[in-house]
Structure 1
Amino acid sequence: MALPVETFFLRPDAQGTLQQQIQQMIAQGILSGRFQRGEKLPSTRKLAAHLGVSRITVTIAYTELLANDYLSSRGRSGYFVSDNAPAPPAFAPMAKVDDAIDWSRAIGQRFSGNGLSGKAQDWASYRYPFIYGQADPTLFDHANWRLCAVQALGQRDFTSMTTDYYDQDDPQLIEFIVRNILPRRGVSARPDQILITLGAQNALWLTAQVLLTQRRRAVLEDPCYPALSGILSQSRCHITPVRVDQDGLPPEAIPPDTDVIFTTPSHQCPTNATMPMDRRRALLARARALEALIVEDDYEFEMSFLKPASPALKSLDDEGRVIYVGSFSKSLFPGLRLGYLVGSEPFIREARALRASVLRHPPGHIQRTAAYFLSLGHYDAQIRRMGLALHERRRIMEGALEQHGLRVSGRGAYGGSSFWMRAPESVDSAQLAENLRARDVLFEPGHAFFIGDEKAKNYYRLAYSSIPAARINEGVGLIAQEIDRLR
């Protein structure tokens, strides 16, 4: 491989003649490992023109390096890093050196330390991965996704792939959402009422930034999606957590000075509670009385393999009071990072402008690939395949939980991909998870889902979306054994 001439430059503070500086520059590149054995150097003419020196100066430097076996010459092919050049030394790791900046003063806002635990990147290597939100490679349609990606790379779609949409989105993807996705939830919307986002979390962040200020109050469910509390904290609004019950968020517990209500009515995160229709209407009435807005995160509605899901809260809204958040992360794969916002045009206009100032728009090629995958019928086939597999895994999981005497605190009425579990009061689920890692069992402790200092420590989430059905019972048995030991 030829080394780009742009990687060569003379330091303004370098000592010695130009010839020595060039010789030192190349030798340091070899000794540091940046220049590998066998790589071709720029010609003497090209390097001289790039550095602004005479060609003879570069030639002399190359000749010296050739004599010292740093370089080799191959006839008329040019100069190469010699196969006998010194190998980069294997230095011991450098001692940590603190910089001169006092970052405790320099940082204006802090976004770390929100209590969220990172997800294990090696989850697939565990024998019993009861982990939520990861794609099961045995269920994903790799072949057709690849074909759609290749189609989106074609000459016909060159414009959609390369265009800077600025604040717009792929019209084919928007059309499919309008005509196919939203009607399944009973929602009707125009293209100018939809914004594509980098997943549901990005949609929630945009919504919070547009709607909330330091003087406004947001209500969120407790427990809730862990990242949401961090998003609301960043907006610096007043935050009121409301404890959910078996039917989700109770409208009567929402305080009178509330401006925005965040809820997951169809599939409460993480308890899996489904809000009944009567309570949904009561929630809308409560929001109307308070002149508040509702942000509905409708995740996992596609995973309704037990019975058809209830219409979205947005479908009952005839005032534009509900802002709807959807995502393809669970139905396709989380790494896609593709979601959407549905709301009244004035709100979407502001969210679009904010998105454009941060990231313009999600990549055009990803949007067009997803549009093809959805419109060609692969998406619906994927949902059916996942529904059948999850239905079977859920049946096995329910049997295993009953057999081993583990307590279920919440399960989805329409399906879903996880159970919300409750261990005995004396069991810390974080310690439980840590102990079971050594036995190849992986799951999420529940403390991160709760808000405030008094977090319940004995809850945990068991997902069945990524674990083979044949391993569920054995894995649940290991969890039960460890709970008995800790108790």
Structure 2
Amino acid sequence: MLNLSVANAIDRKSQGSLQSKLREKISEAIAKGDYEQGQTLPSTRIMAEQLKISRNTVTLVYEELAAEGVLISEHRRGFYVAPDAIARLPQSRPVEQVSPSVDWDSKLVINPAAMEHITHPQDWRSKKYTFMYGQHDRWIFPISSWRKCSRDSLSLHDMYDWTVDYVDEDDPVLLDAFRRRVLPRRGFTAHTQEVLVTVGAQHALFLAIQCLIRPGMVVGIEDPSYPDVRNLMIFHGAVLKPLPVDEDGLIIGDALVGCDILYVTPSHQSPTTVTLSHSRRRELLQMAKDHDFIIIEDDYDTESRFGRFPSSALKSIDTDGRVVYVTSLSKLLSPGLRVGFLVGPLPFIRQARALRRMSIRHPAANNQRTVALFLKGGYYESLLKRFHEEYELRWHTLQQALRQYIPLAEVASSEGGSSVWLRFPEEINTRELSQRAYQRDVYIQPGESYFLQSANKLTSRPTHYMRIGFSSIKVEDIADGIAIVGDVVDEMLAESAPQHNHAIG
């Protein structure tokens, strides 16, 4: 008899719903013979009481298995195992190990896996103090509102809309909601044919780069910058020109002359979080006009300006049609939802749309409709308010902890964001700092990977910068985590002091 005790049957911490877990356990028990052919299962009431779950959940599982012929339901007898139940269960066969006869390395014509990417330890989630950038706090996510929008998208009226194949078009309800609810906050609007829905900002950047960059073109890119977009440009044969950044954002000067394309993150520079000043924005657009280059604006982390309306996008003052605009709702909603938008002149969007069609046709229509209902229902604005309140508290808590425990670290000036950028004394190697902190239950990210490696690799990249994310850590854990990092910094400085004194002597 199967032991369906609470302790042994269902692992409530593992992924998946209780319904799917119970179904898996019953199927597994039948396959192993713990439930024999013709044997009656416990009643839905008894099973629910034993597992401390809803009786409806048990009923749904029994009925699903009965519909598939694994169980049989009879009045008064209840549910029992069908004679051919095992044959009706999904069968798995061991995979035979074969020696490949193909030299795949010689067949592949690309090698993006060899490029430098930011990687994280597999067990980083196990750390108590996780200063991980790019992850959201699940407790902020509006689950009830999202569920309502998901249910509403399954109404017959909405399903008749999104179950058709849009081919290369997008959900008109989402396009309208994006134009009315999101773009005005960025200071501009656009025609629906000038907007393309993408699977996150990364997808939008991929389409833009494929449309605009050919091998040998000179692309100006902030340094430090977003590693993945840098890889995309290198992959497409671009010649990268690193451009310095200061407390007012990208430095506008003669270095921009000769660029064919410029990639910029004006709202919150990635990764320093500084904001491009208004005067520099106008200078940048004038230089783009004078020297005939196109600007890709990645409106990264734009809504994270605490207590203030977000600064207008660079696109909002573009009167010459030179800015291709990329944005995403993933940072605010959830990184896993992958909802992005590409906005640009009609000729550009027409080609990006055709390119998207050749790969994915269009993002999933049911997801588009759910996001549309979320925007139209006003849940986006409500989430923004909660988001600002929570992140502003964490930002101030982090700033105070840094001043108290790591006073020698220079913090880049910012007006928000979901991370901070630190500059340590040069004798502090942040990769080593990260490794030591990791042994003390703290996960932090070194900043070396954000800097562009020189083409001849003769010039080493800075190793004394660090990015501290605060989007997924509890506010009450911030100070304790930073205190641990401060202890490690003090230890490293103490260890380097004798060597420094010896070198002077």
What TM-score do the two structures reach when normalised by structure 1? Answer: 0.80
CA displacement at 1:36 relative to structure 2? 3.4
Whole-angstrom CA distance in 1 between matches of 2:287 and 2:120: 37
- Residue 467 of structure 1 is matched in structure 2 by 473
CA distance in 2, matches of 1:297, 1:361: 21
Which residue pairs with 2:483 in the alignment?
477
- Cα distance, 1:97 vs. partner? 7.0
Query: SS at 1:254's partner residue?
Result: helix
* Matched ranges for 1:70-469 at <5 A: 78-79=83-84, 81=86, 99-120=100-121, 122-411=123-412, 413-452=414-453, 453=457, 454-469=460-475
Tell me by how many angstroms 1:237 deviates. 2.0
Secondary structure of residue in 2 paired with 1:143: helix
After superposition, give the CA deviation of every residue in 1:401-434 in whole Å (9 maximum; x if it has no partner): 1111344544453311111012221222122212
1:40–1:80 Cα contact (<8 Å) kept: no
Distance 1:379 1:81, change over 3 A: closer
Q: Please say if residues 265 and 297 of structure 2, whose CA atoms lie closer than 8 Å, have aligned partners that are also in contact.
A: yes
3-state DSSP of counterpart to 1:251: coil
Displacement, 1:78? 4.5
User: What SS class does the counterpart of residue 319 from structure 1 fall into?
Assistant: coil
Q: Tell me if structure 2 keeps the 8 A contact 1:218–1:237.
A: yes
- Judge which range, 391-400 or 408-417, deviates more: 408-417
For residues 147 and 275 of structure 2, the distance between their equivalents in structure 1, rounded to whole angstroms, comes to 36
Give the one of 31, 37, 50 matched to 1:36. Answer: 31
- 1:36 is matched by which residue type in structure 2? A
Shift of 1:225: 0.8
Q: Secondary structure at the match of 1:486?
A: helix
Partner SS for 1:244: strand
Taking the aligned partners of 2:162 and 2:120, their CA distance within structure 1 comes to 31
Q: Give the distance between the partners of 1:133 and 1:390, measured in 2 at CA.
A: 13
Gaps of 5+ in 1: 1-32, 42-74, 83-87
Change (3 A) 1:130 1:235: same
Counterpart CA distance in 1 for 2:98 and 2:424 is 45
- Is the 8 Å Cα contact of residues 178 and 375 (structure 2) preserved in structure 1? no
CA shift, 1:238, in A, is 1.8
Q: 1:408 to 1:367 in 2, by over 3 A?
A: farther
Q: Tell me which amino acid in the other structure corresponds to 1:279.
A: R
For the structure 1 residues 427 and 154, does the alpha-carbon distance in structure 2 shift closer, same or farther, using more than 3 Å as the test? same
Structure 1 residue 122, shift from structure 2 partner: 4.7
Structure 1 vs Structure 2: percent identity of aligned residues?
36
Q: Which amino acid aligns with 2:271?
A: P
Q: Structure 2: which 5+ residue stretches go unaligned?
A: 1-27, 38-79, 494-505
What is the Cα deviation at residue 177 of structure 1?
1.4
1:373 offset after TM fit, Å? 0.9
Residues 150 and 370 in structure 2, CA contact (< 8 A), matched pair in contact too = yes
Please tell me the residue identity of whatever aligns with 2:156: Q
Which moved further from structure 2: 310-319 or 431-440?
431-440
The structural deviation recorded for 1:173 is 0.9
Deviation of 1:378 after TM superposition, in Å, equals 0.8
Aligned positions of 1:41-56 closer than 5 A: none
For the residue of structure 1 that corresponds to 2:241, the secondary structure is strand
User: Normalising by the residue count of structure 2, what TM-score does the alignment of the two structures yield?
Assistant: 0.77
Report the more deviating stretch, 410-419 or 138-147.
Answer: 410-419
Query: In 2, Cα distance between the equivalents of 1:415 and 1:363?
Result: 32
C-alpha displacement of 1:380: 0.7
SS in 2 for 1:462: strand
Aligned to 2:45: none
SS in 1 for 2:352: helix
In the TM superposition, what is the alpha-carbon distance from 1:179 to its structure 2 partner? Answer: 1.4
The structure-2 alpha-carbon separation of the partners of 1:226 and 1:355, relative to structure 1 and needing over 3 Å to count, comes to same
Counterpart CA distance in 1 for 2:167 and 2:408 is 50
